Amino acid sequence: MIYLPIAEMPVNVLLVLLVSGAVGFMSGLVGVGGGFIMTPSLIFLGIPAPVAVATGASQIAATSFSGVLSQTRRKAVDWRMGILLSIGGMLGSASGVWLFERLLRIGQLDLIISLLYLLLLACVGGLMLAEGVAVMRGRSTPGVSILRRPARTIAHTLPFRMRFPRSGLYISVIPPLGLGFIIGALAAIMGIGGGFILIPAMIYLLRMPTNVVIGTSLFQVLVIASLIVVMQSTATQTVDLVLAALLMLGGVIGAQLGVRLGAGLKSEHLRALLGALLLAASAKFLFDLVIRPVEPYVLGGGLL
């Protein structure tokens, strides 16, 4: 047991390491960021939601930085696009932190977080399950590179166009800024990195080549997560350094083991399993919202 100085509660060190290790393991195995599993897990452990969201961002910063380092060596980061996405993300996360505080004040933060997680987990879980089942049945799913047609999207027709040499694109700056904004706002409110929304959007909306997508999205996630840590530290003082250190340690070790083990395993089974798990979690959020609560009264947030 160790006492968390900001969450003001004792937690079991082994339990936190185990949970963060398991989340890191899964993200290493399946190749997802893991912020959207980590934050609900922390809330489930009894960590107050604001602390879980703000502290989770520091762990996302750690994992995305190690990802950016290895992607940079492969020259798989479009810096110009990354910076543009980050500018949008900074504005988005600033609005997100502001909205977070407003919602906390009017007492609807938990409702919004529940609804967003409900939608997010259902979508991601459904997609993963469908993909995993399709592959297991022997049908080859169309690969991401096949889907990427040289079609023109809205990104090509809007004004303020700019050249992105690394991605080989000449597109408007408005979609990357807007995309960054949305991801930044979601990241601040939900405690997620947002890579799993960002990556499909970059491929299908911006038509970026797949080899730079992961590195560039990791760069944006790193910038946004770092910014959120600093902003939450100053605005709401909900970042717990001790908890953050535990999450980083567990997450890093777990991710390593996951990557090593995942190399020799069929990932579609795991994807289907994780997808089913996420659907179940989403159903739990739904039930909590529609079932008549046993205790109709709730205490207001601990911050205000």
Partner 1 sequence: MALALLCATPAAAQQQPGDVANDLPAAVAEEQITVSSDYRGSFVTVFGVNPDRRGRGDIVVVVRGPTQPARVMRKRQVFGLYMNGDAVRFREAPSFFAVLSNRPLRQIASAESIWRYQLDPAASAQLSSAVPAGADPSAYRAALVRLRREQGLYQEYSGRALPERRGGLTLYQGGLFRAVVRLPANAPIAQYHADTYLFRDGRLVSSQRVPITISRVGFERRIHDLATQHSFIYGLLTVLLALAAGWVAALIFRRT
Q: What does the binding site for partner 1 look like in residue numbers (CB under 8 A)?
A: 1-3, 5-6, 8-10, 58-59, 61-70, 106-108, 110-111, 115, 225-226, 229-234, 237, 239, 241-242, 244-245, 248-249, 252, 255-256, 259-260, 289-293, 295-301, 304
Smallest gap from Cβ 199 to partner 1, in A, equals 19
| Cα dist from 262 to 212, 242, 245, 255, whole Å | 22, 30, 25, 10
- Calculate helix-pair angle for 174-190, 49-73, nearest 10 degrees: 140
Judged by beta carbon, residue 37 or residue 255, the one nearer partner 1 is 255
Q: Position 74: which residue type?
A: R
Smallest gap from Cβ 64 to partner 1, in A, equals 7
Query: DSSP 3-state assignment of 171?
Result: strand
Judged by beta carbon, residue 252 or residue 274, the one nearer partner 1 is 252
Measure CA 88 to chain center: 16
Smallest gap from Cβ 91 to partner 1, in A, equals 19
Judged by beta carbon, residue 146 or residue 299, the one nearer partner 1 is 299
User: Any idea which residue has 């959020």 for tokens?
Assistant: 285
Structure tokens at 202: 């970059």
Judged by beta carbon, residue 173 or residue 239, the one nearer partner 1 is 239
Judged by beta carbon, residue 153 or residue 233, the one nearer partner 1 is 233
Smallest gap from Cβ 226 to partner 1, in A, equals 5
Structure tokens at 148: 């990427």
Smallest gap from Cβ 11 to partner 1, in A, equals 10
Structure tokens at 255: 């991710």
> What DSSP character marks residue 11?
E
The kind and range of the H/E element at 161 are strand 161-164
Judged by beta carbon, residue 132 or residue 251, the one nearer partner 1 is 251
Smallest gap from Cβ 253 to partner 1, in A, equals 9
Q: Which among 17, 21, 42 has a CA at the least distance from the CA of 256?
A: 21
